[in-house]
Amino acid sequence: MRLNRKSPYFVLCVILLAVLAVLFIFPLYWIVTGSVKDKAEILVKAGQSVQWFPLSPTAANYEKLLHTQVNWKGLLGAVRVPAAVKWLFNSVFISVMAMALSCVTASLAGYALAKKQFSGKKLVFTLFVCAMALPKQVILIPLVTLSKTLGLSESLWSVIFPVVGWPFGVFLMKQFSETIPSSLLEAARIDGAGELRTFWDVVLPIIKPGIGALAIFTFISAWNEYPLQLVMLHKTEVKTIALGIAGLQAEMSTDYGLIMAGAALGAIPIILIFLIFQKYFTQGITMGSVKG
């Protein structure tokens, strides 16, 4: 490319971007360092010096965070575990289940919408489009009533199903399925492959990158679906890590070390997952939008 990398404007941009990058990363840095500071180090008082780096890192905040225990009724009877561990497990459970269900349902539906001719197709598609056009959060109140009716009160499934039902995944997989050459499907049919066989052997390998994108996208959005979790889950043992941190902040508003330890526990796993699968994620965002 014929761009002048030495131009003053370019240099200015790079400097500005670097400064902004530091500012953007700072809250995260402040969470992690705050979580390992002791009571004296964490204070930020006018006239005194601020501990920008934790000079003597301590695990005390994490120990305190793990101190509160809850009952975990599993297959092997009830055990006592730290509440924070249960919250983390609940978040993982919600994200994994939402991810798995979304990938299965959306890839099947997306393929049908992209590659099959059937009566009512237009109606189904319009229904999905109209729902996408409406804000997710306005259905919070009726969802609470609905999950009570369905016996899902205080159940992690009351958070999983609405995430899976949101039609974004179907759209994304429809986009990816459009790239399947119809000749391949025709060839499979002539070879006598059944519908499921065709889906498994021909369609799946082609839409695999799409499934990767949808998987990571759903995982992260389910993890961060705070408003839904807030209205659905109240008991300590069904809380997610996000609700757990919010609870800590409400109850112990000045114990910053403890709150930051909770925030670190909630943020680090999801950031690692994002960094590992970043490639698919970027693809998902761009495919789910317009082709500019």
Partner 1 sequence: MANPAAAKSRVVRRRETAVSYLFLLPALAIFVCFVVTPMLMGFFTSFTDSHLGGMKFVAFANYIRLFKDPKFLRSAWNTVLIVLVSVPAVTAFSLWVGASIYRMRSGVRSFFRCIFYLPVVTGSVAVVVVWKWMFNTYNGLFNYVGVSAGLMDRGIDWLGSPRLAIWCILIILFTTSIGQPIVLYVAALGNVDVSLVEAAEVDGATDFQTFWKIKWPSIMPTTLYVVVITSINSFQCFALIQLLTSGGPNYHTSTVMYLLYETAFKTYQYGYADAMGVILALVIALFSALQFRVMNGGTTE
Q: State which of positions 124-143 bind partner 1 (CB under 8 A).
A: 124, 127-129, 131-143
Closer by beta carbon to partner 1, 13 or else 184: 13
CB contact at 8 A, 58 and 36: yes
Binding mask 205-224 for partner 1 (x = CB under 8 A): ---------------x--xx
C-alpha–C-alpha distance, residues 188 and 176, integer Å: 19
Residue 146 is a binding residue for partner 1 (CB under 8 A): yes
Binding mask 248-277 for partner 1 (x = CB under 8 A): -x----x-x--xx-xxx-xx--xx--xx--
Token pair in block for residue 101: 């269900």
Tell me how far, at minimum, the Cβ of 123 lies from partner 1, in Å.
11
Taking only Cα atoms into account, the Rg of the chain, rounded to an integer number of angstroms, comes to 24
CA dist 74 to 83, 123, 158, 159, 224, Å?
Answer: 15, 44, 19, 20, 25
How many alpha carbons lie under 13 Å from residue 285 in its C-beta half-sphere? Answer: 7
User: Which of 93, 73, 75, 97 is closest to 237 using CA atoms?
Assistant: 73
In the chain the first and final C-alpha atoms are separated, in Å, by 20
Cα 87-231-263 angle, rounded to 5 deg: 35
- Which residues 149-188 are close enough to bind partner 1 by CB under 8 A? 161-162, 164-167, 169-170
User: Which of 237, 287, 220 is closest to 90 using CA atoms?
Assistant: 237
DSSP H or E segment with residue 83: helix 83-115
Tell me how far, at minimum, the Cβ of 22 lies from partner 1, in Å.
9
CA–chain centroid gap for 42, Å, is 30
- Which residues 32-91 are close enough to bind partner 1 by CB under 8 A? 34, 43-46, 50
- Which of 97, 112, 207, 211 is in the footprint of partner 1 by CB under 8 A? 112
Closer by beta carbon to partner 1, 145 or else 182: 145
Stretch that binds partner 1, among 64-72, 74-82, 118-126, 180-188 (CB under 8 A): 118-126
Residue 123 is a binding residue for partner 1 (CB under 8 A): no
Closer by beta carbon to partner 1, 79 or else 141: 141
- Which of 172, 202, 215, 246 is in the footprint of partner 1 by CB under 8 A? 246
Closer by beta carbon to partner 1, 62 or else 80: 62
Tell me how far, at minimum, the Cβ of 80 lies from partner 1, in Å.
26
Stretch that binds partner 1, among 60-68, 179-187, 206-214, 241-249 (CB under 8 A): 241-249
